[in-house]
Amino acid sequence: MKFLPSFRSLGLSAVSALILIATFPDFEYSFLAFIALTGLLIAAADESKRVVSAGVCGWFFGVIFFFGTTWWLAFAPIHYAGFPSAIAYSLVFMATAIVAIFPAVFSAIFAFLFRSFGFAAFALAPAIWIATEFSRYWITGNNWNAIAYSQAFEPLVLPLASFGGIYLTGGVIVGVNSIFAALLYSYMIRASFAVRKIALLSAVLAIFVLTLFVLNIKGPAAVAETPLKQEAFVIAVQPNVPMSGLTTEKWNEMASLHTKLAESALNSLGKMAPAVQRLVIFPESPMNFSYETDTASREFINNFARRNGVWLLVNSAEPDKESGKFFNSAVLVSPQGSEAAQYDKIFLLPFGEAVPAPLEGVLPAFVGSFAYGSRAELIPFGAIRAGVMICFESHFGSLSRQYAANGADVLIELTNDGYLGPTPVLRQHLANAVFRAVETGLPLIRVTNVGITALIAPDGRVIDPSPVYTEDVRIWSINRSVHKPTLYSRFGDWFAWISLLVVFASIGVAFLRRPQS
């Protein structure tokens, strides 16, 4: 068939996908990300006379990569919905086959531009990749495991996120891949001496610049760690609530565990220097607190806050009078035992918490049909102003950026990944939070039901992480922010928008000129 690529091209694409999988949790060979796309780029260049064939290479790459990094999506249907494993994994495969369209578009565009511009197309590869990643975000509603997230736990290029978020970081990674791919391909096809010389010099320059970057870069967000004075202590409770079998008796048992863990930490804190404020945080979990509508929940929460003289932040299902549904909310209760603030989740998990508009009423949501929140308001406790994210919301740089612009001192994430088991999702989700901290230059307090609970510093360091699927508690001190807004906080995804413009302009020019031989 004319649209089928060669076996060599398919093989190179598959190898690229496998190498890129190895850069993500649970493998985390992050340095491989700088060469992972080399095979895919060479395959697309090889198939440049048949753009559709190049697209097939990208689709093949995408299926392998997305399935290899998100197979854990089958865990919940198998363990909690009784799906046969074959059906659950088939559904995941179908989803990855759809999302793989985006790397297919990348490969097709790159091949088309290579046919027109020759080796100069390698210089356009970063813009093409970022444009397709950005498109995936806008079309599907998320950008899970964008290439930049492979670097969440390494300091090499992570500081770039404070300048341009995941897209600038990813663009640099793809740029290095392009240089090495161009160098290798120039020798594979015996390109002219001038082309090979330029490719070699570019590779040497890339290695030199990256070395200097590693030795000298200091993220501008680092100054956020310099406090004016100690303002508050935060007690993060990780209760490890089971995902099923939560009877009334078990609910009461787990509620007692929440208070036991928190009060034990408060007692130890009392022996330290006193803090101006103390905030206890209970994570998102199957406990299903409902502060406004459930008397037992409200009394339990109010009594705990009042008895201990603390602020208490809890995840709660709160009614939306307009839609008749419930919000997935975070409720802050004062030390006097009354509601002080409420945040309603804005970014709901597609098909988990809400079904997208065209399919609403046709398909059910797996967890529940929640109402969308609309206001990213800060939650103040004492002198501290916090921006709250609930679970999946740590994936959205636009939300944390808005909090930073509104004057947040700290970001707080409440999450529960327990339904997805002891799988790579735990660290993949943590990687999102790392980037949100670096992008905004703000510390991020991550409080989870089963792990990974951690304090993330403004430079991306994961501090004092908890072990997973265990009961645990953490105590951290936080302060009012004294940092200047990062470039990303001010201008957002500027690099992605520039990449889109570059790609459209390049395609336009390619249509107006004759293909290179």
DSSP string, 181-193: HHHHHHHHTT--H
Q: Which residues contact 408 (CB under 8 A, 6 or more apart)?
A: 378, 385, 386, 387, 440, 442, 481
pLDDT in the model for residue 392:
86
Least confident of 260-264, 274-278, 331-335: 274-278
Average pLDDT over residues 51-78: 95
Q: Report which of residues 33 and 192 the model is more confident about.
A: 33
pLDDT in the model for residue 247:
84
- ∠ CA 410-414-418, nearest 5°, is 150
Q: Which amino acid is at 494?
A: W
Q: Closest Cα to residue 39, out of 70, 18, 63, 68?
A: 18
Q: Is pLDDT of 210 > 80? A: no
Q: Is pLDDT of 311 > 50? A: yes
Q: Is pLDDT of 4 > 70? A: yes
For the chain, the C-alpha Rg in angstroms (whole number) is 24
Are 14 and 67 a contacting pair, CB within 8 Å? no
Q: Is pLDDT of 364 > 60? A: no
pLDDT in the model for residue 184:
84
Task: Please check whether the domain covering 227-481 is classified as CATH 3.60.110.10.
Answer: yes
Q: Count Cβ atoms below 10 Å from residue 337 Cβ, excluding itself.
A: 17
d(CA 9, CA 11): 5
pLDDT in the model for residue 230:
60
Strands (E), 198-351: 232-238, 277-281, 311-319, 326-333, 339-344
pLDDT in the model for residue 37:
97
Average pLDDT over residues 357-378: 68
Average pLDDT over residues 443-454: 94
Q: If residue 381 lies in a helix (H) or strand (E), which one and from where to where?
A: strand 379-381
Could you read off the pLDDT of 454-510 as tens digits, one per residue?
999 999 999 999 999 999 999 998 888 777 889 999 999 999 999 999 999 999 999
Q: Is pLDDT of 196 > 80? A: no
pLDDT in the model for residue 276:
65
pLDDT in the model for residue 185:
86
Residue 174: band (very low, low, confident or very high) from pLDDT cuts 50, 70, 90: very high
Query: Is the pTM of the predicted complex or chain greater than 0.75?
Result: yes
Residue 60: band (very low, low, confident or very high) from pLDDT cuts 50, 70, 90: very high
Least confident of 194-203, 243-252, 438-447: 194-203
pLDDT in the model for residue 225:
40
Q: Which residue has the tokens 């299902």?
A: 317
Could you read off the pLDDT of 104-140 as tens digits, one per residue?
999 999 999 999 998 889 999 999 999 999 999 999 8
Least confident of 34-48, 225-239, 293-307: 225-239
- ∠ CA 131-137-143, nearest 5°, is 105
Q: Where are the domains of the chain?
A: 7-221+493-512, 227-481
Average pLDDT over residues 339-367: 70
pLDDT in the model for residue 516:
53
Are 466 and 238 a contacting pair, CB within 8 Å? yes
Q: Is pLDDT of 329 > 70? A: yes
Are 468 and 421 a contacting pair, CB within 8 Å? no
Residue 274: band (very low, low, confident or very high) from pLDDT cuts 50, 70, 90: low
Bridging pattern class, strands 454-456 and 444-448: antiparallel
Q: Is pLDDT of 203 > 80? A: no
Residue 212: band (very low, low, confident or very high) from pLDDT cuts 50, 70, 90: low
- ∠ CA 454-249-349, nearest 5°, is 45
Q: Is pLDDT of 362 > 50? A: no
Residue 223: band (very low, low, confident or very high) from pLDDT cuts 50, 70, 90: very low
Q: If residue 389 lies in a helix (H) or strand (E), which one and from where to where?
A: strand 384-390
Percent of the chain topping pLDDT 90: 62
pLDDT in the model for residue 110:
96
Per the prediction, the chain carries an average pLDDT of: 87
Alpha helix positions (H), 284-424: 295-308, 397-405
> What number of helices (H) and strands (E) belong to the chain?
15, 13
Q: Is pLDDT of 271 > 70? A: no
Q: Closest Cα to residue 353, out of 321, 328, 324?
A: 328
pLDDT in the model for residue 512:
84
Residue 226: band (very low, low, confident or very high) from pLDDT cuts 50, 70, 90: very low
